[in-house]
Amino acid sequence: MNILILGGGGREHALAWKIKQSTSCTKLFIAPGNAGTAQSGENIDANINDFDAIKKLCLKKKIGMVVIGPEDPLVNGIYDFFKNDEEIKDIIVIGPSKEAAQLEGSKAFAKAFMMRHNIPTAGYKEFDESNYLDGLEYLKKHSLPVVLKADGLAAGKGVLICQNHIEAMSEFELMIQRAKFGEAGKKVVVEEFLKGIELSVFVLTDGKKFVLLPEAKDYKRIGKNDTGLNTGGMGAISPVPFAHEAFMQSVIEKVIEPTILGLQKENLEYKGFLFFGLIKVDGEPMVIEYNCRLGDPEAEVVLLRLKNDLVQLFEATSRQRIHEEKILIDSRSAAAIMAVSGGYPGEYEKGKQIDFGYLENPEAKKSIDVDGGVMVFHAGTVKRDNEIVTCGGRVLAVSSLADTLAEAVELSIEILSQIYFEDMYFRKDIGFEFIS
């Protein structure tokens, strides 16, 4: 079968690398892809939110399956677009329907869904222009810190944790009266602050049943010991040491099962990855957010540990037979470390030539695969005149597998010491709280 992946970051390179290994994959296309995905398939320049263009591409390349990496096309309804079009309705689409993607696309929808299905989450209230003044009163009396969330997608920037009432009220005003996060952010969820440690749990679901994938933890801050500005993610680890069996059992019973049952009860069509952003509070899981896709950089560790044929899992998902699949997970630890452009997440320059050191050597390249324990996943890279150059803030994710987390981190750092581009930066302390 010919397969098309939509997206162009580290997650999509990890998906491409994994899908290419499947015996069911004939030709692989990635739109738009990056210099790394070009090693697993053919990149095609396309706007992934232009569904007519994606349809044309699917017909031209005889695509049998489309795997969607990022959330925007899903929230914009790409699943429904395919299913409602005679010419492309039989193409397998990995992702939820537009309505189900609201679990990520609307914080208010997700919160109300959790309330309806008794899924543990922080207490909240929702406000917009119609009850703006009530919102200000509510905020004045709210415990601190208080969490404000823009309802719609805001490229990871729509959550504010406010330490005092004045800050909370002025941000609230900016969001509702001045559309700080756009029209969809004019609705605001005001939520209790939860104190605990976070992790990401992933399932692949066919809307009725699910399989549990390896859990992961990502590191969002730019600086050592989780300090400084938030980024798209500076690294990830899997497994997560505190996600032991009893805790994961609780996650399954209290969070995952009621969510999948909720999808069924509400007739929300869902055939894809579901990502639970969780926080462990007093030993129990609570949901911070749902995402309707794999995480980035979590995918770069999750897919490294997953031993199954991913296309086979997708086919089972599409036939609603996911429960017949047995998930096989590498018991080793994985650590991904992101190399980013100097200045990121603020302003940074693009177009820096990347030197891969001894990794360029064909002999060394052979060992840079999962058996050798290491993968260099590309994120913001592009090929220009036969050179690979940077074209984004997050540039490469070096993922390693080893017997212990400390060794996996060490291995990724060692590989990163071979890679150079001007002003390259990476965190050396990914997984720090679990390494003595």
CB of 100 to ligand GLY, least distance (A): 17
- Among ligand GLY, ligand AMP, none, residue 300 binds (CB under 5-8 Å by kind): none
Residue 291 within binding range of ligand GLY, rule CB under 6 A: yes
**Cβ distance 305 to 405 under 8 Å?**
no
Query: What are phi and psi for residue 90, nearest 5 degrees?
Result: -90, -5
Residue 419 CB, nearest distance to ligand GLY (Å)? 22
| Least distance to ligand GLY, CB of residue 292, Å | 11
Residue choice 298, 300, 315, 325 for contact with ligand GLY (CB under 6 A)? 298
Q: Does 231 bind ligand GLY (CB under 6 A)?
A: no
β-sheet bridge partners, residue 4: 29, 66
Our CB check for ligand GLY shows the closer of 17 and 81 to be: 17
Residue 288 near which of ligand GLY, ligand AMP, none (CB within 5-8 Å, type-dependent): ligand AMP
Judged by beta carbon distances under 5 to 8 A according to partner kind, the member of ligand AMP, ligand GLY, none in contact with residue 5 is none
CA 214 to chain centre: 13
By the 10 Å C-beta count (0-12 exposed, 13-18 middle, 19+ buried), 78 is classed as buried
Q: Are 318 and 400 in contact (CB under 8 A)?
A: no
Find tokens 């999962």 and name the residue. 370
Give the residue with the Cβ less far from ligand AMP, 154 or 359. Answer: 154
147 binds, among ligand GLY, ligand AMP, none (CB under 5 to 8 A by kind): ligand AMP
Token couple for 26: 């004939």
Structure tokens at 93: 């689409």
Residue matched to tokens 């697993």: 40
Minimum gap (Å) between residue 364 Cβ and ligand GLY? 29
CA distances from 37 to 6, 41, 127, 303, 387 (A): 11, 6, 42, 15, 15
Sign of the alpha-carbon dihedral angle for 49, 53, 59, 60: negative
Q: In angstroms, how far is CA 263 from the centroid of its own chain?
A: 20
Whose Cβ is closer to ligand GLY: residue 82's or residue 202's? 202
Site for ligand GLY in 188-227 (CB under 6 A): 218
**Could you give the CA distance from residue 134 to residue 220 in angstroms, rounded to a whole number?**
33
Closest CB 250 distance from ligand AMP, rounded Å: 19
Least distance (Å) between residue 139 CB and ligand GLY: 26
Give the 3-state secondary structure of residue 413. helix
Residue 233 touches which of ligand AMP, ligand GLY, none (CB < 5 to 8 A by kind)?
ligand GLY
Which residues of the shown chain bind ligand AMP in the complex (CB under 6 A)?
122, 147, 159, 191-194, 198, 277, 288-289
- When CB distances to ligand GLY are compared, the closest residue is 295
Which residues on adjacent β-strands are paired with residue 383? 388
Decide: is 295 part of the binding site for ligand GLY (CB under 6 A): yes
φ, ψ (nearest 5 deg) of residue 216:
-150, 165
In this structure, the number of other CB atoms found within 10 A of the CB of residue 114 comes to 22
Q: Taking a C-beta distance cutoff of 8 angstroms, is the pair 110, 155 a contact? A: no
296 interacts with, out of ligand GLY, ligand AMP, none, CB within 5 to 8 A per kind: ligand GLY
Binding segment (CB under 6 A) for ligand GLY, from list 54-62, 291-299, 330-338, 414-422: 291-299
Task: Please state, in angstroms and rounded to a whole number, the distance separating the CA atoms of residues 375 and 299.
Answer: 12
- Residue 33 interacts with, from ligand AMP, ligand GLY, none (CB under 5-8 Å by kind): none
Count residues binding ligand GLY (CB under 6 A). 6
Q: Which residues bind ligand GLY (CB under 6 A)?
A: 218, 233, 291, 295-296, 298
